[in-house]
């Protein structure tokens, strides 16, 4: 089973969004916890716009011999500063369910203070979404995509790779690739008025941020 890796370009954005909707949107533990996307026909305007803001960025895709998408890594260069993107997204968000996700993310960023952990770095490459077609999982596709983005970061002179893992499986995968966990907190501890924003299903119980220092 052969496939090719290529950068995501502007003409690929809509096909990438459709792919993410039938893979990442349906499987991601936080999105599942708030019932954001149940089927491929659900309205996911807010998350689609978030992706469009990041794409094509420095994202990569894998395609099979027939040109079908089998894997996507959505990545972008981001500043290592107190983020304002989440606040803008919250203001513009139309979905109450997705607003819950954004509020939790804002709280995470405030607590983690990554900009204080890496005061000598001005930017990083953030791996925002990673998705593989179910028929192609456990065949090395994502490992290959991760290798490509790591090489790209080095070529650009960007020292840090960042990935957030809501899935216990993604966390294990990140650790196997040399990422270091710099923030971890149970979802039940992200609260408003004494109640958790989000309650996820086991084994996906912790929100984590991982960083890999490339040089």
Structural domain that includes position 46: 3-213
* Cα–Cα dist 179/169, whole Å: 14
Angle, nearest 10°, between helix axes 13-22 and 45-54? 130
Share the mean pLDDT of the chain.
93
Read off the CATH number of the domain in which 180 is found. 3.40.630.30
Structure tokens of 80?
């290592």
Q: Residue 82 pLDDT > 70, yes or no?
A: no
pLDDT per position as a tens digit, 123-163: 999 999 999 999 999 999 999 999 999 999 999 999 999 99
pLDDT per position as a tens digit, 194-208: 999 899 999 999 999
Count structural domains, the chain. Answer: 1
Binning pLDDT at 50, 70 and 90, where does residue 86 land? low
Kindly list the distances between the CA atom of residue 168 and the CA atoms of 24, 70, 185, 200, in Å, as whole numbers in the listed order.
Answer: 15, 22, 13, 11
């Amino acid at each position: 089973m052969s496939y090719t890796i290529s950068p995501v370009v502007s003409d690929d954005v809509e096909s990438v969004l459709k792919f993410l909707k039938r893979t990442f949107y349906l499987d991601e533990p936080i999105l599942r916890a708030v019932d954001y996307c149940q089927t491929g026909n659900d309205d996911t305007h807010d998350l689609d716009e978030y992706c469009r803001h990041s794409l094509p960025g420095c994202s990569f895709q894998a395609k099979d011999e027939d040109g079908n998408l089998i894997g996507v890594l959505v990545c972008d260069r981001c500043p290592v500063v107190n983020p304002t993107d989440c606040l803008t997204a919250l203001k513009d968000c139309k979905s109450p369910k997705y607003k819950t996700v954004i509020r939790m993310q804002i709280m995470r960023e405030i607590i983690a203070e990554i900009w204080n952990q890496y005061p000598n770095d001005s930017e990083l490459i953030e791996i925002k979404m990673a998705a593989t077609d179910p028929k192609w999982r456990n065949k090395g596709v994502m490992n290959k995509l991760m290798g490509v983005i790591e090489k790209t970061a080095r070529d650009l002179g960007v020292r840090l790779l960042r990935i957030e893992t809501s899935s216990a499986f993604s966390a294990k995968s990140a650790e196997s690739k040399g990422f270091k966990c710099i923030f971890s907190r149970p979802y039940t501890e992200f609260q408003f008025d004494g109640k958790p924003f989000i309650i996820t299903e086991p084994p996906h119980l912790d929100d984590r941020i991982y960083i890999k220092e490339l040089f």
